[in-house]
Amino acid sequence: MSKRVYFFALFLLCVPLLMPALGGKEKDKAKNNIVQVSGTVRLVGTSLFPEIVITGAENEWYVEKEEMSKLYDFQHKKVTVEGEETVVELRFANGLPAGTRRTLRKIKVISIE
């Protein structure tokens, strides 16, 4: 058997073992809830990859890319929104907990202060 065939067979056997470390199962662990959140709207990230975050007293919620235009004009203001929350428990490659990421989508602005 040539070295290429041996390497390819070994690679195909190892791919399923690497999938959890690559984040392949994270969507299965996500939970969706309809929530109402209040906090300050902030723009974070780089100029190439900006993100809108609502910073509340206890948590931060990232806003989906498609929904950013709804809150872009309200930066540095306190807002109350309602939307579908997705909570994902993040993990490092070695399996240790890396925190929680909360994401909002299908948002509806309720009030602006």
State the pLDDT confidence band at 1, using cuts at 50, 70 and 90.
low
71, 41 in Cβ contact below 8 A? Answer: yes
Asked if the structure places residue 66 within a domain, the reply is: yes
**Looking at residue 30, what is its pLDDT?**
55
Handedness of CA 12, 17, 20, 25 (dihedral sign): positive
**Pairwise pLDDT comparison (100 vs 4), residue with the higher score:** 100
Per residue in 35-78, pLDDT (tens digit) is 999 999 999 999 899 999 999 988 999 999 999 999 999 999 99
CATH number at residue 99: 2.40.50.140
Instruction: Please give the span between the terminal C-alpha atoms of the chain, in angstroms, as a whole number.
Output: 71
pLDDT above 70: residue 96: yes
Asked if the structure places residue 90 within a domain, the reply is: yes
Asked if the structure places residue 15 within a domain, the reply is: no
pLDDT above 80: residue 109: yes
**Looking at residue 36, what is its pLDDT?**
94
Q: Which domain holds residue 50?
A: 26-112
Per residue in 6-39, pLDDT (tens digit) is 767 767 666 666 665 555 444 445 567 899 999 9
Asked if the structure places residue 4 within a domain, the reply is: no
- Strand bridging mode 97-112 / 60-63: parallel
Asked if the structure places residue 93 within a domain, the reply is: yes
Asked if the structure places residue 8 within a domain, the reply is: no
Structure token digits, residue 104: 């909002």
Count up the domains in the chain and report the number: 1
